[in-house]
């Protein structure tokens, strides 16, 4: 019984040794082994898609506001300046500052004060905050710009709306409305004087509409210009107050001309006459826009 048990054990050992020898071989080189399956990547003609490139988000810069300084010569409490302020406030991205004479200073031209200026808080008729200067229209510009009354350089100065037309070689030199606009232009600030045809009830909305249109047309260039760029001329807008039932014939840009012997108050919106300048244009029913020089005729140096 002992001999038989040893032979059986030896056979088992030999069999196990064979299994160990088979398992220790390199199965990767055994190409004949049917149990080994090789996997290949399929070849296709599909286009190669690269990972999308994500651009950084675009940052937008808010447009620069248009800074407008408003003044006049009829005084801070006048109807005309109130209408013009309310009209300009309807424009997008506009910042308004109002500095105007404390009292009516019509006919003061380009005069300035030699004494110290007294400035007080005030409001327009509709309650818009303002500064009132006890002086001439041009003093408003002196205080605001030369004396640091405001802490910025405006993109535009608007003077008006005056009650009464300021046209012709003879009248513009007397106008405080024009005088304030000229004072701004002399400091290299673009400006425009705005006047409405004299009447018991001036048609201020007509002049205001003409001004708003002018600002919209010139806004880009006003924003783009650099501080200190030379200003050699400024604009003057004169709008007729048409008789009831009539409307203005249009808006035209014309040169300044002499009033001569014509009636200052002449105004015919039903006319068919073709104008040659600011006087004939206004008197025949047109809103006129005239470019005036900062210095030289008709203004004395």
Domains of the chain from N-terminus onward? 66-293 (3.40.1210.10)
Tokens of 1: 């019984």
Q: How far apart are the first and last CA of the chain?
A: 146
For 161, phi then psi, to 5°, come to -85, 130
Provide the strand spans (E) within the chain: 66-71, 94-101, 119-123, 129-133, 156-163, 191-196, 233-239, 250-253, 286-293
Question: Where does the pLDDT of residue 157 fall: very low under 50, low under 70, confident under 90, or very high at 90 and above?
Answer: very high
Report in angstroms the alpha-carbon separations of 61 from 58, 65, 66, 281, 282: 10, 12, 15, 43, 43
pLDDT, residue 63, reads: 83
Let me know: does 181 contact 161? Beta carbons within 8 Å.
no
The predicted model gives 54-75 an average pLDDT of 83
Taking only the tens place, the pLDDT of each residue in 190-214 is: 999 999 999 999 999 999 999 999 9
Q: How far apart are CA 163 and CA 255, in angstroms?
A: 22
Average model confidence (pLDDT) for the chain? 87
Taking only the tens place, the pLDDT of each residue in 1-56 is: 434 444 434 443 334 344 344 444 444 444 445 455 455 555 555 555 555 566 66
C-alpha triplet 129, 85, 131: angle, nearest 5°: 30
Taking only the tens place, the pLDDT of each residue in 229-262 is: 899 999 999 999 999 999 999 999 999 999 999 9
Q: What is the pTM (predicted TM-score) of this model?
A: 0.80
Q: How far apart are CA 206 and CA 196, in angstroms?
A: 8
The predicted model gives 144-163 an average pLDDT of 97
Residues in the chain: 301
Cβ contacts of 111 within 8 Å, gap of 6 or more: 136, 138, 176, 179
| DSSP label of 225 | S
Query: Quick one: CA torsion of 144, 149, 152, 158, rounded to 10 degrees?
Result: -30
The predicted model gives 131-154 an average pLDDT of 97
């Amino acid at each position: 019984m002992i001999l038989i048990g040893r032979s059986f054990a030896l056979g088992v050992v030999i069999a196990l040794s064979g299994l160990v020898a088979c398992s220790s071989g390199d199965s990767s080189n055994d190409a004949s082994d049917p149990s080994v399956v090789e996997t290949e990547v399929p070849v296709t003609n599909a286009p190669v898609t690269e990972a999308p490139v994500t651009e950084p988000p675009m940052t937008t810069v808010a447009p620069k506001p248009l800074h407008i300084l408003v003044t006049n010569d009829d005084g801070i409490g006048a109807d005309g300046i109130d209408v013009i302020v309310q009209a300009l406030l309807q424009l997008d991205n506009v910042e308004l500052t109002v500095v105007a004479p404390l009292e009516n200073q019509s006919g003061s031209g380009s005069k300035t004060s030699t004494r110290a200026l007294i400035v007080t808080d005030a409001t327009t008729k509709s309650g818009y905050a303002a500064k009132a200067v006890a002086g001439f229209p041009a003093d408003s510009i002196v205080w605001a710009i030369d004396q640091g009354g405001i802490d910025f350089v405006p993109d535009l100065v608007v003077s008006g709306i005056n009650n009464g037309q300021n046209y012709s070689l003879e009248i513009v030199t007397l106008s405080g409305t024009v005088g304030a606009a000229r004072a701004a232009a002399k400091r290299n600030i673009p400006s425009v004087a705005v006047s409405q045809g004299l009447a018991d009830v001036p048609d201020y909305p007509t002049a205001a509409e003409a001004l708003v249109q002018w600002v919209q047309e010139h806004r880009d260039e006003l924003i783009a210009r650099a501080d200190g760029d030379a200003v050699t001329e400024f604009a003057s807008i004169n709008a007729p107050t048409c008789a009831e039932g009539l409307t203005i014939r249009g808006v035209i840009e014309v040169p300044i001309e002499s009033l001569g012997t014509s009636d200052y108050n002449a105004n015919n919106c039903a006319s068919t006459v073709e104008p040659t300048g600011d006087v004939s244009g206004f008197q025949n029913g047109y809103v006129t826009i005239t470019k005036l020089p900062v210095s030289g005729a008709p203004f004395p140096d």
